[in-house]
Copies of this chain bind each other. A is one copy, B any other.
């Protein structure tokens, strides 16, 4: 480290949770950032002046940690938050979600995504992995917000928002990849096949071939409900995971989402293929899909990340709540309080999450050479006092609203809870105006 180097941003006066492989915690640490890269992470030397920097940020004794990674969401579904709750799955899907999605436009998806970005930044998420339609609008909004997005254009063999003719779905996705591949380092385009039961084998194979050729992530909802598994077994002879394995789609760049109704053979296929899994605990609970055997995934050495899923089925994008609920759910269903300790759960939204979406070389921990995605937690709050163990507080006591500052790719995106990259008030006004139109014709479930 050259002492003469002048950083763009220097963060000091906080406890650094590095989440590196050694789980180093640096008390009274400093972080130096140059050109969006973490250059310096070390304990402060009280005998010396702080290293020179263009900008400095005083963490005020709080926690400095990697930005949170949400490995599965459908960002624009903020538009439907609270419009349809506590309903049987098929009613929810056919009477609400599908007709609502029929009303979507590029502009609505753009606005809904900005709203999601506001919520995610305000709750400490710096990277999210998305899958939806009009993903081009999602990408534009994500760029505007200054977030890191792994964004998958949706592929489904039904008429979809922005893709009225399913025969065009692969070509549409290809154009999306072409537009965004290499366009900006923060937007990482990819593909999102909806599921085995909504895509033909031809579509799945074509989509996967495209993902392989371009070298991008391939996401797919898998084994979410018992009904899905029954249907796939009946129609394709084996379980969804074994089917994907058989047709050669399960591999290192595949991210399976949900993965609830699985057996030992399914998990062996995932393990052998080195595919990853995204678990969206709260959404799976709220829709009553089931409980993914997350501790078994970890025991097998399968890469796992947590996600929120969309706001129509959660109904929030706060990953802190997701961590808390995930830890507690698995303790109680196994009747073992030692299952999923706090530090392990935190890795599922940082280091391990980065691995599931192919970004481990860039983010997920605070280590020299990585991109500077950092959040600062304000710990001077009653519910975070006193502090014996920072991991425990992050998982069991903190909420997204305890995040004070957010830095993405070296840029301060939120300072003192004010988002600096776009006008949040305007976005809320816009969405509020559109919501009357969206809700028209739907029986509101007000109780």
A binding-site residues for B, Cβ under 8 Å: 23, 25, 78-79, 81-83, 85-89, 92, 115, 118-119, 122-123, 282, 284-291, 311, 314-318, 321, 324-325, 327-329, 331-343, 380-383, 385-389, 391-393, 396-397, 399-401, 424, 427-428, 431-432, 434-435, 438-439, 444-447
Nearest-CB residue, chain B, relative to A287 = B337
> Once the chains bind, are A318 and B383 in contact (CB under 8 Å)?
yes
Chain B residue numbers with a CB within 8 Å of A341 are 85-86, 445, 447
Chain B residue numbers with a CB within 8 Å of A386 are 79, 81, 431-432, 434-435, 438
Chain B residue numbers with a CB within 8 Å of A287 are 331, 337
Chain B residue numbers with a CB within 8 Å of A338 are 86-88
> Once the chains bind, are A86 and B286 in contact (CB under 8 Å)?
no
Chain B residue numbers with a CB within 8 Å of A339 are 288
In the assembled complex, the CB of A90 is this many whole angstroms from the nearest CB of chain B, namely: 10
Select which of B286, B389, B427 is within 8 A of A444 by beta carbon. B389
Chain B residue numbers with a CB within 8 Å of A400 are 399
> Once the chains bind, are A396 and B329 in contact (CB under 8 Å)?
no
Nearest-CB residue, chain B, relative to A383 = B119
Given known A-B contacts A382-B115, A396-B314, A288 and B92 have beta carbons under 8 A apart: no
Task: Give Cα distance in the complex from A79 to B446, angstroms.
Answer: 40
Task: Give Cα distance in the complex from A12 to B372, angstroms.
Answer: 45
In the assembled complex, the CB of A128 is this many whole angstroms from the nearest CB of chain B, namely: 14
Chain B residue numbers with a CB within 8 Å of A397 are 81-82, 311, 315-316
Select which of B336, B427, B434, B435 is within 8 A of A382 by beta carbon. B427
Chain B residue numbers with a CB within 8 Å of A316 are 383, 396-397
Chain B residue numbers with a CB within 8 Å of A427 are 382
Nearest-CB residue, chain B, relative to A117 = B382
28 contacts between A and B (CB under 8 A): A81-B385, A81-B393, A81-B397, A83-B389, A85-B342, A85-B392, A87-B338, A118-B382, A119-B383, A123-B383, A284-B332, A285-B329, A285-B331, A285-B332, A288-B331, A288-B339, A317-B383, A333-B333, A341-B445, A381-B428, A385-B431, A386-B431, A386-B432, A387-B435, A388-B439, A389-B444, A389-B446, A401-B401
Chain B residue numbers with a CB within 8 Å of A381 are 122, 428
> Once the chains bind, are A288 and B428 in contact (CB under 8 Å)?
no
Chain B residue numbers with a CB within 8 Å of A424 are 382
Chain B residue numbers with a CB within 8 Å of A317 are 383
> Once the chains bind, are A335 and B290 in contact (CB under 8 Å)?
yes
Chain B residue numbers with a CB within 8 Å of A92 are 337
Interface centre among A23, A86, A445 (most CB of B within 10 A): A86
Interface centre among A89, A339, A389 (most CB of B within 10 A): A389
In the assembled complex, the CB of A214 is this many whole angstroms from the nearest CB of chain B, namely: 33
Task: Give Cα distance in the complex from A332 to B332, angstroms.
Answer: 13
Interface centre among A82, A291, A321, A435 (most CB of B within 10 A): A82
Chain B residue numbers with a CB within 8 Å of A282 are 324, 328
Nearest-CB residue, chain B, relative to A345 = B86
Interface centre among A79, A122, A288, A428 (most CB of B within 10 A): A288
In the assembled complex, the CB of A68 is this many whole angstroms from the nearest CB of chain B, namely: 15
Nearest-CB residue, chain B, relative to A332 = B285
Chain B residue numbers with a CB within 8 Å of A82 are 387-389, 392-393, 396-397
> Once the chains bind, are B447 and A23 in contact (CB under 8 Å)?
yes
In the assembled complex, the CB of A229 is this many whole angstroms from the nearest CB of chain B, namely: 13
Given contact pairs A285-B332, A321-B321, enumerate 11 new A-B contacts (beta carbons under 8 Å).
A23-B447, A119-B382, A286-B331, A315-B392, A315-B397, A329-B329, A341-B447, A382-B428, A385-B432, A386-B431, A399-B400
